[in-house]
Amino acid sequence: GQQVMQIPQYQHVQEGEDFTTYCNSSTTLSNIQWYKQRPGGHPVFLIQLVKSGEVKKQKRLTFQFGEAKKNSSLHITATQTTDVGTYFCAGPGYSSASKIIFGSGTRLSIRP
């Protein structure tokens, strides 16, 4: 079945260091979404990428969609303690565009 995997599973960084999580889909995606879930909270939509090779930025966050539309990455520059949480990529299911399949997630923790 359709799978969306993320690496690494966990990342522990010193505050101020950069962080990157990678997302790989077993199928080509029409779009990729990214979500952030704080500890004890619910996922919050961050961004959606649609075009092949697309790059979008939100302050210190840079999102990229691969040329083949099967992979994506999220890079955080100079992490802050507020960046702590689990980052999920997600893509539409092949059976229905409205069904979103979530990646395995990358949990980011930060040493102040």
Partner 1 sequence: GAVVSQHPSWVICKSGTSVKIECRSLDFQATTMFWYRQFPKQSLMLMATSNEGSKATYEQGVEKDKFLINHASLTLSTLTVTSAHPEDSSFYICSFSGSTYEQYFGPGTRLTVT
Burial status of residue 33 (CB atoms within 10 A of its CB: 0-12, 13-18, 19 or more): buried
- Check residue 8 for interaction with partner 1 (CB under 8 A): no
Q: Phi first, then psi: give them for residue 81, nearest 5 degrees.
A: -60, -25
Which listed residue (41, 51, 53, 68) binds partner 1 by CB under 8 A? Answer: 41
CA 66 to chain centre: 13
- Strands 19-25 and 85-92 turn out to be unpaired
The answer to whether residue 90 forms part of the interface with partner 1 (CB under 8 A) is yes
Among 19, 63, 76, 105, binds partner 1 (CB under 8 A): 105
Least Å distance, CB 78 to partner 1, is 26
By CB under 8 A, is residue 85 in contact with partner 1? no
With binding defined as CB under 8 A, does residue 27 bind partner 1?
no
Q: Which is nearer to partner 1, 66 or 91 (CB)?
A: 91
CA 14 to chain centre: 20
Q: Identify residue 62 by its one-letter amino acid code.
A: T
Where on the chain is the footprint of partner 1 (CB under 8 A)?
31, 33, 35, 41-45, 48, 88, 90, 92, 96-105, 107
